[in-house]
A and B are shown apart, each in its own frame.
Chain A
Amino acid sequence: MQPHTLSIREAHELLTTKQISSVELTTAVLDHIHKTDPLINAFVTIADELALEQARLADQRLRQSEDITPLTGIPFAVKDCISTRGLRTTCSSKILENYIPPYNATVIDRLSTAGAVLIGKQNMDEFGMGSSCENSAFFDTHNPWDLERVPGGSSGGSAAAVAANMGLFALGEDTGGSIRMPAGFCNVTGLKTTYGRVSRYGLIALVSSFDSIGPMARSAYDCAAVLQSIAGQDLKDATSLPDPIPDYLKMLDKPVKGLRLGIPKEYFQAGMEAGVESSIREAIQKFEELGMEIREVSLPHTTYGLPVYYLVLFAEASANLARFDGTRFGLSVAEGAENVIDQYLQTRREGFGPEVKRRIMLGAYVLSAGYYDAYYLKAQKVRTLLRQDFEAAFEQCDALVAPTCPTTAFKLGEKTDDPLTMYLSDIYVVATNPAGVPSLCVPCGFSNNMPVGMQLIGKHLSEDVLLQIGHAYQSATDWHLKRPAVSK
């Protein structure tokens, strides 16, 4: 048995039957990371000592058979935009290179309460701005399926790590596809939760009104187990939802027969890689075999998804990043500064990468007097149309199915010179975030030896339904079980 290859479900079985300890499991995972990550570069920080300390505590709980959850003793890592007390949290930016938060994000506290074992922090596009992980200020992360290719972004480190068995699950963060797109590129199951389902407190904000934390794991089952621990209202996040939390694991085995699955025709346009389209079509075939009703639906404002997404992103991100001024934390470049404004300028000039600067400038522009109505306000109005598109579609079906990306993972460096082409790779995943609805990425095949992901999109707070469909699909297929060679 190679412990690092276990799923949460399998590991939980072995931990509770005392066939393995959390320390053994965690050690195996850490060893595998130290061996494999030099090839992948998924981790910004590996927390060996902290991990083993938590594993020992988890073992105590397991020994006493007390207070055990499906995550007790399970090693995991998080995208480096989620604050961890005492553990460096960088957002893959120079400006936070040495920032150690004095507090935990709520999701970290919740996972810690559940007994999960934090092993490290994962690379990302700087502040979540990018779709390939190439905007990390530190290093590129490589796709474990082909080291010449990108893992996708911005949660690229998390997707690559889970695919390469470096951690049994990860917490990613999805602002406009940042969980699903890399999950699809790396053959990982990833869930973008309903906006507000999971607390954002302690998540370093990119777009406050889009950001959603969610699990990335080996299966829909494992995602359900993680979601169970992190979902629910948090009094420290005023935008978190008070709605009750379903028993996600219990819901998994409900039959999908008779559920209606919509195919949004706007998501199947020219330009899609042939192998991607055929994989998705095969998956739809499979859903039909499982007894689901398939019907075509329309999301007529889909073409506005990308501009709406980026306009709101620029605006909110420009304000969210204003606090990085070198005064209280992080990089501070005061040398030679004549006054405080100089210090701000120097710090931000050195601390932020080019994509971040581009977006801050665009954000200040779209919010400025005389342009606000034409850009930000207009975008908010179109956002309402996007939401209504989904609402109308969900009157005819229980979930939608679509590709996560028109292509499979592209080569490192292929799109770095052209931000617009890069933005376009998110075309299928961005619209869900302005609408706030949940979406689950499920591996569904390969095209030119690279993984293809499909996304299931559901109505507000229907994570249970998405996980149920994903689980039914994964019970009937084995795409999600395929692992790259480096994962051994």
Chain B
Amino acid sequence: MTTYEPVIGLEIHAELQTKSKMFCGCSAAYSEAPAANTLICPVCTALPGAMPVVNQKAVEQAILVGLALNCTINPMNQFARKNYFYPDLPKGYQISQYDLPVASNGWLNILAGTDPQRIRVRRAHLEEDTAKLFHHDRHTLVDYNRAGVPLLEIVSEPDMHTVEAALDYATRIRAILRYLGVNSGDMEKGVLRFEANVSVRPTGSSELLTRTEIKNLNSFRALTRATAFEIQRQTQIYQSGAEVVQETLGWNDLKEMTISQRSKEEAHDYRYFPEPDLPPLEINRAWVEQIKSELPELPEMREQRLIMQFGLTVNEARLLTSDKALADYYEKTVSLSKSPVKTISNWITGEFLRYVNDMGLDLEHLPFPPEHLAQLVDLVTAKAINDNTAKEVLAGMFKTGQSPETIVKANNLGQISDQDALELVVAQVLNDNPKEVASYLAGKQTVFQWMMGQVARLTRGKADPQVARKLLLQALEKARISK
């Protein structure tokens, strides 16, 4: 039987984190609105006569993303009207960009499984978000707070051939947007939405067969499930000798299947034409250069640097740079700690991230600063506490936000490696157990372990074993001589 390989392209809709909306002065922070339809004006509710004005900050953020995705920034931009009727679209058209978008012809390096691959980015264009609809039994309510919030649509070429590649591409785009500070990446709030174009073809062929478009994928899980489902569905259609139909699909999260929304014949004719209310937008070189100079270090560059600078493995570096806040936290901890980098990396990629994930914490709002984590690792390195105690202390830090020193002191958890203190303990063990001392001196070596146990008991496990061993041996030798 012929085997098939998938061909996947992604469209990513990212809301931009500007203060105001794309074409009016209303606040874009609709998720914090006090009530429905409170962040609205004549422009974003499309009252007759209202006119759009372009939000410069949104254009800047779009340029920033374009540069991060290695795109050409087009010196001449044009907005266009995309015409269709839907109650979430107040003007009856969406102001978008058509033949002259902000950015085009870029690329992004990803890992397809373990193989590096370059995915081409076709374009990134600015548009406006729609209103939110609330469907009831006999009616639908419309909240225009979201209407007109800036959106950046990032369109890839159909360069991905596995679900994993698509997931990695989407994950990296999300990370880049967060690195740039233009999108929170908060999928639950819907600030990032995916659409996947999927087709399959006989493995090894280079043709492009009929594709379907899956709309409204609002989580990474939905993206991977829907894409996998669609690949399998199309493969089965070809294998049974039938043909795939070009259509737009929706993803049903509950039934875990794609569902036809409209066929090619029913496809919208959007009747694009240049938006006459907005003159062409010129983006001159100086502006682009200015924005370029503000471009922060991006995940891929940072990954390489961390490998070079700290000798991390590829996997560690990827994990640590996957999120800007995590990478920042890591580097800050390294700079504050006197411990070997390797030890710090192990702590962060291990115990630390396990707590973060288990507790579902937001890396930007952790209960304690990098200073505290550096302290903790340094306490271990200095043998002030042992590994097991350190884990307990870390748990306490996540729970209370207190510094490790505070926790250690409060619970009297410090490891005793102090010679004088331990000498007293050893002396006490010898004093209290003359029979056992005699038996040891008579040649019964095994008693030594028992006496070490007594030291541990008296110090409640905090004695540094190496120091205790040395002091106990010394004390017993003294006893042998003075006997």
* A residues apposed to B, CB below 8 Å: 81-83, 89, 91, 96, 99, 101-103, 105, 200-205, 207-209, 235-239, 315-316, 318-319, 321-325, 327-329, 340-341, 344, 364, 367-369, 372, 376
B42→A368 contact, CB < 8 A: no
Residue of A nearest to B52 (CB): A238
Q: Given A322-B85, A341-B85, are A96 and B47 neighbors across the interface (CB < 8 Å)?
A: no
The reply to whether B273 and A315 contact each other, CB–CB distance below 8 Å, is: yes
Query: In the complex, what's the smallest C-beta–C-beta distance from B37 to chain A, in angstroms?
Result: 10
Q: Closest CB-CB distance, B396 to chain A, in whole Å? A: 56
Residue of B nearest to A211 (CB): B276
Q: A201–B50 contact, CB under 8 A?
A: yes
New A-B contacts (5) at CB < 8 Å, excluding given A200-B49, A325-B87: A96-B48, A200-B51, A324-B48, A328-B90, A340-B140
A328-B48 in contact (CB<8A): no
Asked if residues A89 and B48 are in contact (CB atoms below 8 Å), the reply is yes
| Separation of A208 and B53 alpha carbons in the complex (Å) | 14
Bound together, the chains give a CA A325 to CA B91 distance in angstroms of 9
- Is B279 in contact with chain A by the CB < 8 A criterion? yes
Given A236-B53, A368-B271, check contact A322 B93 (CB 8 Å): yes
Q: Knowing A103-B42, A327-B87, A344-B85 are in contact, say whether A238-B277 is a contact too (CB < 8 A).
A: yes
Q: Is the CB of B49 within 8 A of A201?
A: yes
Q: How far is the CA of A27 from the CA of B53 in the complex (A)?
A: 40
Q: Which of B116-159 contact A (CB under 8 A)?
A: 140, 142
The minimal Cβ–Cβ distance linking B438 to chain A, given in whole angstroms, is 98
Given the contacts A238-B54, A239-B279, A327-B87, A83 and B92 also touching, CB distance less than 8 Å: no
Residues of B within 8 A of A328 (CB): 45-47, 90
3 pairs of A and B residues whose beta carbons are closest in the complex: A322-B92, A208-B276, A367-B271
Known contacts A325-B85, A341-B85, A367-B273; decide if A238 and B53 are in contact (CB<8 Å): yes
Q: Does B278 contact A (CB under 8 A)?
A: yes
Instruction: State whether the Cβ of B211 lies closer than 8 Å to any Cβ in chain A.
Output: no
B269 interface residue (CB < 8 Å to A): yes
* Neighbouring B residues of A236 by C-beta, 8 Å: 51, 53
From B83, which residue of chain A is reached at the shortest CB distance? A319
Given contacts A327-B142, A328-B45, contact A208 B85 (CB under 8 A): no
Q: Is B462 an interface residue (CB 8 A)?
A: no
Set of chain A residues within 8 Å of B53, measured between Cβ atoms: 235-238
Complexed CA–CA distance, A101 and B431 (Å): 98
- Chain B residues lying within 8 Å of A369, measured Cβ to Cβ, are 269, 271
Cα-based distance from A323 to B87 in the complex (angstroms):
10
Q: Can you list 18 A-B contacts (CB < 8 A)? A: A96-B48, A102-B42, A208-B276, A208-B277, A238-B277, A239-B277, A239-B279, A319-B92, A322-B93, A323-B92, A324-B48, A325-B85, A325-B92, A327-B90, A344-B85, A367-B83, A367-B271, A368-B271
A residues near B174, Cβ cutoff 8 Å: none
Min Cβ gap A98→B in Å is 13
Asked if residues B52 and A203 are in contact (CB atoms below 8 Å), the reply is: no
Instruction: Note all chain A residues with C-beta closer than 8 A to B91.
Output: 322-323
Q: Is the CB of B90 within 8 A of A323?
A: yes
The CA-CA distance from A196 to B9 in the complex, in Å, is 42
CA distance A255 to B384 in the complex (A): 98
B324 within 8 A of A: no
Least CB distance from A332 to B in Å reads 12
Q: In the assembled complex, how far is the CB of residue A309 from the closest CB belonging to chain B, in whole angstroms?
A: 14
Asked if A101 and B92 make an inter-chain contact with CB atoms under 8 angstroms apart, the answer reads: no
- A368 touching B49 by the CB < 8 A rule? no
Q: Closest CB-CB distance, B257 to chain A, in whole Å?
A: 25
Closest chain-A Cβ to B131's Cβ sits at a distance in Å of 10
Contact of B90 with A238 in the complex, beta carbons under 8 Å: no
Known: A101-B48, A235-B53, A329-B48. A316 touches B92 (CB 8 A): no
- If the complex has contacts A200-B51, A368-B269, are A238 and B279 also in contact, measured as CB distance less than 8 A? yes
Please indicate the chain B residues that have their CB under 8 angstroms from the CB of A325 in the complex. 85, 87, 92
In the complex, B81 has a CB within 8 A of chain A = yes
List of A residues within 8 angstroms of B92 by Cβ: 319, 321-323, 325
A91 to B83, CA, bound (A): 23
A340 to B85 CA separation, bound complex (whole angstroms): 10
Q: Nearest chain-B residue to A322 (Cβ)? A: B92
In whole Å, how far is A41's beta carbon from the nearest beta carbon of chain B? 23
A368 to B140, CA, bound (A): 30
Residue from the list B48, B83, B90 in contact with A83, Cβ < 8 A: B48
Q: With a CB–CB cut-off of 8 A, which chain B residues contact A208?
A: 276-277
